[in-house]
Structure 1
C-alpha cells in the first residue's frame, strides 16, 4: 500500500472505482460518503494531502477519478469533468491566500509558490500579470510560511495551512476576493475529473456531496481538533465560504481563468469544457 491514506479495499473478483482526493477541510464534504458513508463499499479511495499529486495519479492511470486542481484539465488531453460538483468560492475562500511581509501586492518583487495546487499557483501569476501589470519572480517552495517569507516578499499558501498561520505583522490577500474584485465572478479551484473511456456514475458524486454536507457537524468536530480552530469558524467556512455546486457565474469564471492562463503562457492549449455524459 504505497499511496498515502488508502482507505478502502478491493473486493475479491471485483475492482471498485478508484478515487483520489486531498484531505483538506475544503474537500471533506465531497469525500465523506466515500470514506465513511453510503458509498464507501463502492470505491477504493486514496486520500492524498496534495491536490497536485491527485492530478498526477489520474494522469498516470493509477485512479479512475480524482479531485483535481482545475488547471490540470487543460494539461490532461483525455480528461473529462464531472458536472455539478466543485470546490470553489463566490467571493471569499479563506484557504487560498497570498501572504506578504506587510507590503502591498504592488510592492512585491518575488513570490514563493506552494505548488500543492497548480490552479492557485497559476492564479497568483494571473493576478500579478493581468490585474496588476507586474512580473515578480516566482519560486516553487514547500508550504512553510516562516521559511517562505524569510527569503521572499510574499508567499502562496493553500488548504488547511492557509487557515492556521499567525497573521501578526503580515498582510493577507484572499485570492477569491482579489479575483472577484477584478472580474466580478466566482472562482472554481478544483473539480472531479476522469479519463475518457472510464465508466463513472456521475450521480454518485452529487450524492456524495449531499451526504457530506448533511454531515457537516461531524466534519467540523473532526477538523476543529485537527486544526485547533473554533467549530463556528469551520462551519462558516464550509457552509458560506466554500461553494460545492458550480453555478453559471462560477462557470464563467472558470472559462475566463482558462483564457487568461492561455494568454499568459501558463497552458499550451485552450480546450472547451467537456463533461462526462456531454
Structure 2
C-alpha cells in the first residue's frame, strides 16, 4: 500500500477533494499532517510521497525524486505565509522574531529575506503552539497556513507582510513553497503505482482549478463564511511547476546555501517517464 501525505491546509483542499471524489484509492492511502510532520514521515519512510516543503529536498536530495508539473507556489502574494509585526518591517533590524514550527521552508525564506533583502541581523525563537498570536506580546511573528489566514482576518493595528510578495519583489520569480517529493526507494518498489498516482495528481490539479466554485461550496468554512474568500485564495496559488518555478527553486537553494542553511545547492532530480 502506497502512503500519500496530505497537507491539512486549505491550499491543498482543491486537489485532494478532486482526487478523493474522482478516483478509488486502490493501492494507496492518505496520511494527513502539517508540513513539518509530513516532512519527517517522508524522511523516515513512514510515507512514500507528498507535497513537501521545498527545503526538505535540499536537505536530503539523495532520498527523493521530484514529480513534474506539480507544486504549491505563488507568483506574488500567497496570503497564508505572513509576518505579523508591531513595527514596520524597516524597523525590525535586531528584533527577536517568533517562528512557527510548522514549516522550515517559510522560516528559511524569512531569514533569507531579512538577511539579503534588508541586510538585517535578527534573532529567532520558536513560538509555543498556544502562543501563536500577535496579541501574545511578540514584536514580530511568522505564521503559515490556516492559522495565518485566521490571524490576518482579525482587526488590529499590526503590520502584515506576505513572504510570497516580498520574494517576488526581491527576485522577480515565483516562490515554490512545496514540491511533490517521492522517495526514490518507493519508486523502485512500485513504479507502476507512482505513474498512476502522478497521472491522477495532474488530472486532479487541472480539474480542481476549473472547479474552485463547486469545491468552495463543500469546504468547511470555519471562520470564512463566504465561499468567494476561498475562491480568491485558491486563484492566487500556483499549482504548476514550470521552468520559471524551477528557476525560483534554484535561486532559493542558492541563497539558502549562501546563508549557511544548507550545505550546498542541490541538483534537481526530476522523475522522468519513458514513453
- With structure 1 as the length reference, what TM-score do the two structures score? 0.87
Q: Cα distance 1:63–1:262, how it changes in 2: closer, same or farther (>3 A)?
A: same
Distance, in Å, in 1 between the alignment partners of 2:172 and 2:210 is: 30
Q: Cα distance 1:119–1:258, how it changes in 2: closer, same or farther (>3 A)?
A: same
More helix per residue: 2
Structure 1 unaligned regions, length at least 5: 1-14
Structure 2 unaligned regions, length at least 5: none
Aligned-residue CA RMSD in angstroms? Answer: 1.9
Secondary structure (helix, strand or coil) at the match of 1:155 reads strand
Q: Which residue of 1 aligns with 2:179?
A: 191
Q: Which residue of 2 aligns with 1:162?
A: 148
Secondary structure (helix, strand or coil) at the match of 2:121 reads coil
* 1:43 lines up with 2:28 in the alignment: yes
Residue from 195, 199, 202 that aligns with 1:203: 199
Distance, in Å, in 1 between the alignment partners of 2:133 and 2:209 is: 36
Query: 1:236: Cα distance to partner?
Result: 1.1
Q: Cα distance 1:229–1:248, how it changes in 2: closer, same or farther (>3 A)?
A: farther
Query: 1:192: Cα distance to partner?
Result: 1.0
CA contact (8 A) 1:34 1:45 kept: no
Deviations 1:112-142 (A, max 9, x none): 1102111101100001111110121111124
Q: Which residue of 1 aligns with 2:39?
A: 55
Q: Which residue of 2 aligns with 1:171?
A: 159
Output aligned runs, 1:114-129, within 5 Å.
114-129=100-115
Residues matched between the structures, number: 260
Distance, in Å, in 1 between the alignment partners of 2:97 and 2:42 is: 29
Distance, in Å, in 1 between the alignment partners of 2:26 and 2:178 is: 25
Distance, in Å, in 2 between the alignment partners of 1:256 and 1:146 is: 30
Q: Cα distance 1:223–1:162, how it changes in 2: closer, same or farther (>3 A)?
A: farther
CA contact (8 A) 2:73 2:178 kept: yes
Q: Which residue of 2 aligns with 1:79?
A: 64
Query: 1:247: Cα distance to partner?
Result: 2.4
Q: Cα distance 1:261–1:229, how it changes in 2: closer, same or farther (>3 A)?
A: farther
Query: 1:171: Cα distance to partner?
Result: 0.7
Q: Which residue of 2 aligns with 1:219?
A: 215
